Amino acid sequence: MANVRLQDVADLAGVSMKTVSNVVHAYPHVSAGVRARVEAAIAELGYQPNLSARRLVTGRTGMLSLAFSDVSIPYFAELARVVSNEATRRGYRLLLEQTDGELDREREIVSTREAGLVDGVIFQPSTMSANEISLHRKDVPLVLLGEQAAPVSVDHVMIDNFAAADQATTHLIALGRTRIGFVGHEREHLSETSLRRLEGFQHALAEAGITVDMGLLLSTAEISAASAAAAVADALDRGIVVDALVCRDDLAAIGALRAIQERGLRVPNDVAIVGWDNIAMTAFTHPTLSTVAADTAALAATALDLLEERIAGFAGLGRHLVASHSLVVRESSLAP
């Protein structure tokens, strides 16, 4: 049974609760004899501290929550792994929260729902705006992930989407491509993330003296390979010609790849592709996918640094930090 209390151990060892507590917490000033007796009692009774009680008293839960739209999206799953490992290393356990990108569920994340449950929250919003976040947010320590504009009051770790999109597009231009499309931004509510990437995309084209052809901007109904495949298939069937595609994320790239190949076009010879996120699968598609890779390990470590400072009581303005990224060039954008 788990109903062994601190007092029971104390009784068996013939000491007070405080002494047992000292032993449990490895407090140094305990005589060896007493320590041995207490440890024997703990072992004999199979004592385990009641975490709820400890929490009630300390106000700390030792848990963090990680919130984003959907863990079955590979980028989030891979992010969850990195954050979870880093959290474990620092002595926290991780609670997983999915919002499906729904506004009211995102609101719950930054406001009431977590109170008292976790010491802090790491949150990558899909839908909430900076304004809304600062409006709804409560006292729980919070760090935002991702690329949207964040409220000045909240810590935030991102990559430089503009620069990365510029870099990816410039890479395609250097390959001699001129009819370059963009795939995968939201059809209805354009996210800040997509917007930044589109701006970087446009900037690179402008630098090369190419004006953006709005007909080559292929938005999708949702973030999925299926949705991107449909958008690209539809565009090709309408007779639209592209020789390169910058994709908002790797799922879009995988969908685009599939649609292009289904129509008998070759990648990269006819159409070069660059994706985004460097999910594991991009190294195993045929051809393998070039992609923008965020340094997720740095992202996670930085986010946890900021969060731990907040938990420790730091109350200054929001810090806005940039994690590095790189362009991973694979077969889908190799020079022919």
Interface residues with a second copy (CB under 8 A) are 1-2, 48-53, 55-56, 61, 63, 70-72, 74, 76-78, 80-81, 84-85, 88, 93-98, 112, 115-117, 138-139, 225-226, 229, 254-255, 257-258, 261-262, 280-281, 283-286
In the list a second copy, DNA, none, the entry touching 29 (Cβ below 5 to 8 angstroms by class) is DNA
- 5 binding partner (options a second copy, DNA, none; Cβ < 5 to 8 Å by kind): DNA
Q: Among 21, 134, 167, 288, which residue sits at the site for DNA (rule: CB under 7 A)?
A: 21
CA terminus-to-terminus distance, the chain: 68
Q: Does 138 bind DNA (CB under 7 A)?
A: no
17 binds DNA (CB under 7 A): yes
Torsion of CA 296, 123, 66, 301, to 10 degrees: 40
DSSP class of residue 10 equals H
Per DSSP, the three-state class of 198 is helix
Whole-angstrom CA distances from 152 to 94, 243, 316, 324 are 26, 41, 10, 21
Q: How far is CA 220 from CA 99, 217, 224, 276, in A?
A: 20, 10, 8, 15
Which of a second copy, DNA, none lies near 112, with the C-beta cut-off 5 to 8 A by kind? a second copy
40 binds, among DNA, a second copy, none (CB under 5 to 8 A by kind): none
191 burial (CB, 10 Å; 0-12 / 13-18 / 19+) is buried
Query: What is the nearest approach in angstroms of a second copy to the Cβ of residue 39?
Result: 15
Q: Which of 36, 43, 53, 115 binds DNA (CB under 7 A)?
A: 53
Burial tier of 13 (Cβ tally within 10 Å: 0-12, 13-18, 19+): buried
Site for DNA in 58-117 (CB under 7 A): 58
The listed partner (DNA, a second copy, none) that binds 300, CB under 5 to 8 Å by sort, is none
Distances (CA, A) of 43 to 7, 12, 36: 14, 11, 10
Binding site for DNA (CB under 7 A): 3, 5-7, 14-19, 21-22, 24-25, 29-31, 33-34, 47-50, 53-54, 56-58
